[in-house]
Amino acid sequence: MSALPPWFDPAWQRLRTQRTQDRLPHALLIHGPEGIGERDFVRALAAAALCETPEDGDACGHCDGCVLFRAGNHPDYSEVRPEEEGKQLRIDQIRDLAGFVGLSRGRAPYKVVVLTPADRLNDNAANALLKTLEEPPPRTLLLLLTSRPGRLPATIRSRCQRVPLHAPTPDQARAWLAERLPAGADADVLLALAHGAPQAALALAGGDTLTRRAAFLDDFGSCLDGRLGVVAFAGKWCKEAQATLAAWLNDVLADAIRRASGAPSRLSEQSADGAGLRRLPEALDLQSMFKLLHELQQYRRLLETPVNPQMLLEGLAVSWKSALAAQAPRRNG
């Protein structure tokens, strides 16, 4: 039986039925928020498709197919992902995928390929994948996983059966976390920082992410008020995952906009979002904060292209400093 969390039950039961009836489609577009266990869902589905003796649509866990899959060397399974974090899937990777699915299948009921994150296909790679989707070999299962299905071409989306995955309710997320968090960890703080995604919240509790987040936001606040130079700040943080830094700033800025609009904060004081950045609603008007939010979204898109991270981070810091300087007469008037 699958050990997936309860918020996946509706989607999983439908796919279990299709597996039991041996009518899984050739391609599934699986999409939902990041950090809710979506990768576990895809692996469970792949295991069920590769299992030689499935039990009510679930992987049995003990046949040769299940043993090979757990060991990471099943000959009828392949996973395609960008060669570097944040980079695109290239056309030669999709050509290799086409070659793999064209090979004769072994003992497994299906030949399974996982493509993640599917939204990272460049135009040439998307066109190459479309050919495989239009004429898939028999008993092929392509699993496209993404948190941003709208970024996939409509031609690809239309050739896949969609499987939406929904985030858990707050009660479900807390209950799941309560069984796994170390003593003293605050589930509500972690869930707030992880946008309600329990698996992402658990990852925050297990490493130094919260410490690094606090250090980055403190340094960014120091850069904005002149206690730390722009070049020194960017040089210190340019080797970090820039998408992660952008997500931290996005959280703080979005929360500042909520507070400036009269809505309650979603980030508690324990979330360590930088004392200086807590004052953004007093330092900037709503129009300026929305402009920064738009610039931050552009920054995140640029990260998917070949860029110099230090120069990009310097530009972001300068933009925020300029916005604060422009608002200084309003604050002092």
**Among 83, 65, 85, 84, which residue's Cα sits nearest to residue 75?**
65
Helix (H) or strand (E) holding 100: helix 91-102
For tokens 């858990």, the residue is 168
Residue 94 backbone dihedrals phi, psi, to 5 degrees: -70, -35
Domains and CATH numbers, the chain: 6-166 (3.40.50.300), 208-332 (1.20.272)
pLDDT at 2: 59
Per-residue pLDDT of the chain (333 residues; tens, 9 = 90+): 458 999 999 999 999 999 999 899 999 999 999 999 999 999 999 999 999 999 999 999 999 999 999 999 999 999 999 987 778 899 999 999 999 999 989 889 999 999 999 999 988 999 999 999 998 889 999 999 999 999 999 999 999 999 999 999 999 999 999 889 888 788 888 888 888 899 999 988 887 888 888 899 989 988 988 899 999 999 999 998 888 899 889 888 888 888 888 887 766 554 545 555 667 777 888 898 999 999 998 888 888 777 888 999 999 999 999 988 887 655 555
For tokens 């800025």, the residue is 253
* Sign of the four-CA dihedral 253, 254, 260, 263: negative
Which residues neighbour 152 within 8 Å (Cβ) at sequence distance 6 or greater? Answer: 29, 118, 119, 121, 126, 144, 146
DSSP codes joined into one string, 210-239: HHHHHHHHHHHHHHHTTSS-HHHHHHHHTT
**C-alpha span between 120 and 323 (Å, rounded):** 32
Strands (E), 107-256: 111-115, 140-146, 161-164
**C-alpha span between 324 and 293 (Å, rounded):** 14
